[in-house]
Amino acid sequence: MLRSGSPTVRYRDTAAELRQGQPMSKLSEKFAGFCEKHPLLSTCAWLAENVVKKPVFRCQDCGQCVLSYNAFTCCMRCPKQIRNGPCGGTREDGHCEVDPERCCVWWLIYERSRKLGRLDKLRKYHKPVDRRLEHTSAWLNMFAGKIEPLSLGTRLKPGEEYPPEPKIEQKADQ
């Protein structure tokens, strides 16, 4: 479940605090609950996830995957670990202000989103990273309802736009 030397995070200890949405289904919630009770299964899920996501997406193992919104590019590769767009320091040639030798991750995300017809997805606001979920399986976290589920379409669902539109009530003139 965790790399050696990492702080221990147990799902059942933080499940009530971390619940951000509803589980995908009763079956997925039961599966995640079963894995929580069996650390070997949690470890196997985490390893299986990393076997796929690390080489393919260069996953940084935050436990709160948003690849489906960011053109399947891990935004946590940003040196500042910014999840909601570039920091403003992107150079004109698309390189990072922190490390000018590398391309800005958000420049890559934008270019890939444009090519895939997924620019609308970049308007989604993502909650800040919850460090308690680092080095845990995003798949199990999603099944348990601790993080938002994948979004494989090319458009956002109503209400997912960033920034969320404020609800302003109009008072009748007196």
pLDDT tens for each residue of 107-137: 999 999 999 999 989 988 888 889 999 999 9
pLDDT for 43-72, tens place per residue? 888 999 999 999 999 999 999 999 989 999
State whether the Cα torsion 151-134-2-144 is positive or negative. negative
Specify which residues 103 forms β-bridges with.
95
11-18 and 26-37 helices, crossing angle to 10°: 140
CB neighbours of residue 33 within 10 Å: 16
| pLDDT above 60: residue 8 | no
Q: Are 21 and 150 in contact (CB under 8 A)?
A: no
Phi-psi group of 145: left, alpha or beta (phi > 0 → left; psi -120 to 50 → alpha; rest → beta): left
Distance of alpha carbon 47 from alpha carbon 52, whole angstroms = 9
Domain ranges of the chain: 1-64+130-147, 66-128
pTM, entire model: 0.71
pLDDT of residue 24: 63
pLDDT for 64-114, tens place per residue? 999 989 999 999 999 998 888 888 888 888 899 999 999 999 999 999 999
